Amino acid sequence: MTGHHGPAAPESGPSVTIAWFHCFAGIAGDMALGSLLDAGADFTEVLNLLERLPFSGWHLSTEPVLRAGIAATSAVVEVTDDVIVRTHSHIVGLVEEARLPPRVARRALDTFAALADVEGRLHRRSPAQVHFHEVGSHDTIIDVVGTAAALEVLGVDVVTASSVATGTGTVRTSHGFLPNPSPAVVRLLQGVPTWGRDVSVELTTPTGAALLAAVATSFGPLPPMLIASSGFGAGSNELDGLPNCTQVVVGQSLAVAQPGQPVLLLEANLDDATGETLAHSVQALLDVGALDAWITPVIMKKGRPGHTVSALVDPALTESVRRTLRAETGSLGVRATSQERWPATRAMDEVEVQGVAVRVKVSPGRVKVEHADAARVAARTGLPLREVVIRAEAAWRRRVDAGTDATTADGAGPRGVVRDHEHPDPPTPA
């Protein structure tokens, strides 16, 4: 089953190394790190990468423990510095200054970006203005960067996961008591198969959910692989009747044997819907989690012109998408066809046009500007939409040609952002 998060699995190459997280008791940052160390990630190599971070006041150690009779590794971060509140920009600066291997830095930065985006939405602030409390502390940074480092030490190319267990009741946070799972966890797991255990413990934390949201390419059972190692990362407490740990399984998958991601194609035929209804239906399907949605003109019985509304959906979201398709179109029935898909590798990046951020989707040989961002820049600056798209693509290509994210004289801005300085500001629209 597929989720909406993270880059897609690579298509080429004879084999890839996969790490599958089994989240039967949830997942947290220390549990993810502990499981990878338990699976064979060399502790010294992971620690050497962590020590590149430009701050002190922490110490990482491991402890062999039992959780409901299962041998597991507990990753313990001891903190001697009480600085716990950082902005997202501050954390980005720390990670970039560490000069970590590219894949380690990217996985860590993507995780914190997911956290910043969700926190910003929950508190109605821009991600840049988000102040992290628990997730900005030393131990959380070590857990996130340590997990990314351990994946690299193990040579993991693709991360997948099972459905994710959550708890119930309430949890104590810096904002007071919140429902369990917390609002941040619920947002981060949007589009991910999730289920609840009747346990009044925070089984899945925002950090654990963000790691999955940022790095996992798919969700479901153990994928086909030649298993090389496995490990268990312990949670902090013992639970009655439940091993409080996250399992990871690492192995090799042959590209020729790699199945596609299972999806369902949901469709309904309509001969009495207006264009406005059809357009609204497509957007509504995307809003509830459809991977894609579209409309096809058809000739129906008795020669009547009509339309087929189609939605490609993760099997875990079939029911909600099916209900939406029926409700929005008024169709008397919906049919489903099982299919597979092989999405190309992709990643999100960001540039600036006339001082306004524009997201771009990058895949091999192609960069595509997010239409909503380009339209916002066009409305704000008075530039034609096509000009905004041209400038954004050119700004991203300058970064690639320069071969660095650092500030350059040819128009690249600070790391992670490329600014468009080649053109003077247009007149302010009247």
The DSSP annotation for 322-363 comes to HHHHHHHH--S--EEEEEEE-PPP-EEEEEEETTEEEEEEEE
3 falls within a domain: no
**Which pLDDT does position 390 carry in this prediction?**
92
Query: Do 21 and 208 form a contact (C-beta atoms < 8 A)?
Result: no
Strand partners, 298: 306
Are 227 and 357 within one domain?
A: no
pLDDT at site 428: 42
Number of domains in the chain: 3
- In a domain? residue 182: yes
- Whether 410 and 398 map to the same domain: the answer is yes
Residue 268 lies in a domain: yes
**How confident is the prediction along the chain (430 residues), in pLDDT tens digits per residue?**
444 444 444 444 457 899 999 999 999 999 999 999 999 999 999 999 999 999 888 899 999 999 999 999 999 999 876 655 678 888 889 999 999 999 999 999 999 989 888 877 765 565 555 555 444 478 889 999 999 999 999 999 999 999 999 999 887 766 667 898 988 899 999 989 999 999 989 999 999 999 999 999 999 999 989 999 999 999 988 898 899 999 999 999 865 445 678 999 999 999 888 999 999 999 999 999 999 999 999 998 888 899 999 999 999 889 999 999 999 998 889 999 999 888 777 788 889 898 888 999 887 778 889 998 999 999 988 999 999 999 999 888 887 777 644 333 233 333 344 455 444 444 444 4
Which has the closest alpha carbon to 160: 21, 37, 5?
21
Omega prior to 262 cis, within 30 of 0:
no
pLDDT at residue 326, as a whole number: 93
In a domain, 267, yes or no: yes
- Print the domain residue range for 191: 15-257
Which of 257, 282, 317 is the endpoint of a domain? 257
Does residue 1 fall inside a structural domain? no
Same domain, 144 and 63: yes
309 and 376: one domain?
no
Is the residue at 426 inside a domain? Answer: no
CATH no. for residue 361? 3.10.20
The 10 Å CB-count burial string (b at 16+, else e) for 155-176 is ebbbbbbbbbbbbeeebeeeee
**What was the pLDDT predicted at 322?**
94
184 vs 285: CA distance, rounded Å = 23
For residues 121 and 56, membership in a common domain is answered with yes
318, two tokens: 């079939």
- Identify the pLDDT of residue 366: 81
Q: Which of 194, 227, 257 is the last residue of a domain?
A: 257
357 - beta bridge partners? Answer: 352
Same domain, 43 and 117: yes
Is residue 315 a part of any domain in this protein? yes
Same domain for 272 and 252: no
Amino acid occupying residue 157:
D
- Specify if 66 maps to a domain: yes
* Contacts of residue 217, Cβ cutoff 8 Å, sequence gap at least 6: 2, 6, 7, 8, 9, 158, 159, 160
Residue of 389, 407, 388 lying closest to 399 (CA atoms): 407
Domain's final residue, options 309, 341, 373? 341
Q: Do 101 and 209 have their domain in common?
A: yes
Strand order, beta sheet including 418-420: 366-369, 356-363, 347-353, 418-420
